[in-house]
């Protein structure tokens, strides 16, 4: 399939699942606990979910919301929804009642598929959610709601695949949202196929031999692509698990399943390298790991590579573009950079007027490619500022060197102007991590007594290290010895752990407070 000439009639369930199931129905698709689910079984579950959705009254372009952990029912519910022609989105379970109410009303979802714990929360707010017509509970204990698993067992498989257009809305992906509730980027059917055929398969080289494992959950576009859609398109398989992705759980799954492909974020890589079980962990089955979501410090890359021998391909993607569009590649890793632009995409670094800046200068990243979202749902003004013609204007500050490699400097609101010069928090954080006492670090700005902007470091220490004024001064001196003096933090504050979002990103807004 040519990513630049996709057929006019296109449905994601057909492309990523049913076409493969027709070719190799007995091949493993999902490993979950003691279960092995084949392509044929997953396709059958999708057909049954399609029947259940249609029986519930779901029509073309109506929305389906998933609030599920990473279980096989997530895959069948997701594929069944797009097979039926619905527009599907997903968020992690474990939400507060006001968050559940927000997502149900924001999406106007006709159907919700969730677990018993979240269903109990839905009950407390359902009177305020008039659009929801059917609530299906997967994994047991449905209470007074429909039992997703039982409904699928009773349903006659409906193999009809909605005759959707490649430009029809298909999936909503939520931005991380530094303030307030996340907003949805509305994606078309073809966006996911385009990225899979330009990034997933040609760069990551998924194949039938691959078994994938992910720290990020399937509710996020990053894991949805790298741990479900891409391996299935290549005839590979994935490992799913519903528990929290603690280092101990990852070590257990590495030993049990011997995966070849690992999807991670820098926080998780750091956690694995600092976990007590690291000494007994076996990474030898992995052929490659990928990292995204936040900057991967060079120091962390080096420690990971030294301990595991496994290459990390760091890259950047976004909800607006679905998945990664700038990345390092096997045999072409530029330490400290996010690599080069993926073929099929274009990227440039621009000033505030949208003019491209000279190589080496800091500016805002602009990206275009055929996986760009249509808009942010119900965010017209924000959509106009982000989606400008073919270009997506990010909130990230970058540099591009003469060789074409991109270097992340920080989000626009993270960049510091100190002594009249730009300071990249990422650069300082990387040096902080090189101090033997520092386990985690984040740099934000504060105003000194004269009202001038200065850097402040928040650090979490390795076990056995004790916070003290003397250690704070030693950390400052360590940074001054490695960088220009103006980049060294004027203050160092110690925390047990950095505050993070459910995507693992440091919540710098909380640190600035």
What is the residue extent of each domain of the chain? 12-187, 197-345+370-387+398-409, 416-512
Q: Does residue 415 surpass a pLDDT of 80?
A: no
Q: Does residue 267 surpass a pLDDT of 90?
A: no
Average pLDDT over residues 425-450: 87
Q: Give residue 178's pLDDT.
A: 47
Pairing of strands 340-341, 363-368: unpaired
Q: Does residue 190 surpass a pLDDT of 90?
A: yes
Among 31-35, 36-40, 173-177, the minimum mean pLDDT is found in 173-177
Per the model's pLDDT, the better-predicted residue between 414 and 509 turns out to be 509
Structurally, at CATH architecture level, domain 12-187 sits in 3-Layer(aba) Sandwich (3.40)
DSSP state of 175: -
At 332-363, the pLDDT tens digits run: 999 989 999 999 999 999 998 999 999 999 89
CA distances from residue 513 to 445, 450, 502 in whole angstroms, order as listed? 10, 19, 20
Q: Give residue 508's pLDDT.
A: 84
Q: Does residue 421 surpass a pLDDT of 70?
A: no
In which element (H, E) is residue 419 found? none
Confidence of residue 202 (pLDDT cuts 50, 70, 90): very high
Contacts of 152 (CB under 8 A, 6+ apart): 45, 48, 49, 52, 76
Same fold, 12-187 and 416-512: no
Q: Spell out the SS3 assignment of 351-383.
A: CCCCCECCCCCCEEEEEECCCCCCCECCCHHHH
- Helix axis angle for 39-55 and 72-83, nearest 10°, is 60
At 144-170, the pLDDT tens digits run: 999 999 999 999 999 999 999 999 999
Structurally, at CATH architecture level, domain 416-512 sits in 2-Layer Sandwich (3.30)
Domain boundaries 197-345+370-387+398-409, CATH class: alpha beta
Q: What is the mean pLDDT of the chain?
A: 93
């Amino acid at each position: 399939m040519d990513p630049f000439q996709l057929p006019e009639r296109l449905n994601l369930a057909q492309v990523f699942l049913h076409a493969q199931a027709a070719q190799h129905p007995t091949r493993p698709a999902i490993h979950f606990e003691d279960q092995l689910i084949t392509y044929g079984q997953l396709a059958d579950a999708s057909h049954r979910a399609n029947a259940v959705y249609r029986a519930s009254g779901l029509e073309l372009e109506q929305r389906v919301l998933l609030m599920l952990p990473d279980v096989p029912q997530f895959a069948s519910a997701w594929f069944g929804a797009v097979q039926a022609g619905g527009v599907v989105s997903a968020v992690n379970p474990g939400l507060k009642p006001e968050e559940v109410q927000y997502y149900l009303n924001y999406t106007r979802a006709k159907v919700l598929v969730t677990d018993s714990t979240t269903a109990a929360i839905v009950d407390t707010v359902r009177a305020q959610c008039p659009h929801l017509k059917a609530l299906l509970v997967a994994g047991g204990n449905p209470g007074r709601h429909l039992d997703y698993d039982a409904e699928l067992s009773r349903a006659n498989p409906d193999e009809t695949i909605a005759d959707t257009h490649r430009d029809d809305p298909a999936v909503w992906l939520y931005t991380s949202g530094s303030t307030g509730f996340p907003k949805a980027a509305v994606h078309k059917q073809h966006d996911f196929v385009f990225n899979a055929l330009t990034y997933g398969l040609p760069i990551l080289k998924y194949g039938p031999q691959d078994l994938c494992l992910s720290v990020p959950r399937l509710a996020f576009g990053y894991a949805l692509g790298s741990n479900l859609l891409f391996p299935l398109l290549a005839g590979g398989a994935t490992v799913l698990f519903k528990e929290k992705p603690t280092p101990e759980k990852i070590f257990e799954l590495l030993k049990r399943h011997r995966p070849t492909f690992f999807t991670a974020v820098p926080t998780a890589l750091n956690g694995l390298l600092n976990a007590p079980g690291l000494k007994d962990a076996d990474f030898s089955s992995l052929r490659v790991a990928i990292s995204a979501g936040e900057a991967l410090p060079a120091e962390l890359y080096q420690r990971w590579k030294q301990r595991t021998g496994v290459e990390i391909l760091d890259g950047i993607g976004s909800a607006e573009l679905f998945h990664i569009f700038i990345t390092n590649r096997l045999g072409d890793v530029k330490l400290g950079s996010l690599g080069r632009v993926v073929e099929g995409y274009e990227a440039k670094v621009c000033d505030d007027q949208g003019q491209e800046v000279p190589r080496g200068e800091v500016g805002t990243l602009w990206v275009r490619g055929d996986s760009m979202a249509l808009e942010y749902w119900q965010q017209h003004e924000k959509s106009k500022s982000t989606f400008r013609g073919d270009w997506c204007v990010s909130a990230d500050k970058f540099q591009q060197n003469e060789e074409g490699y991109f270097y992340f400097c920080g989000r626009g609101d993270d960049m510091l102007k100190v002594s009249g010069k730009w300071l990249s928090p990422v650069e300082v954080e990387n040096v902080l991590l090189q101090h033997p006492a520092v386990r985690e670090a984040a740099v934000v700005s504060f105003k000194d007594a004269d009202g001038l902007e200065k850097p402040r470091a928040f650090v979490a220490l390795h076990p056995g290290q004790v916070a003290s004024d003397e250690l704070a001064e030693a950390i400052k001196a360590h940074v001054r010895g490695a960088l220009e003096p103006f980049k060294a933090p004027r203050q160092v504050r110690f925390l047990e752990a950095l505050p993070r979002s459910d995507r693992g990103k440091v919540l710098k807004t909380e640190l600035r407070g």
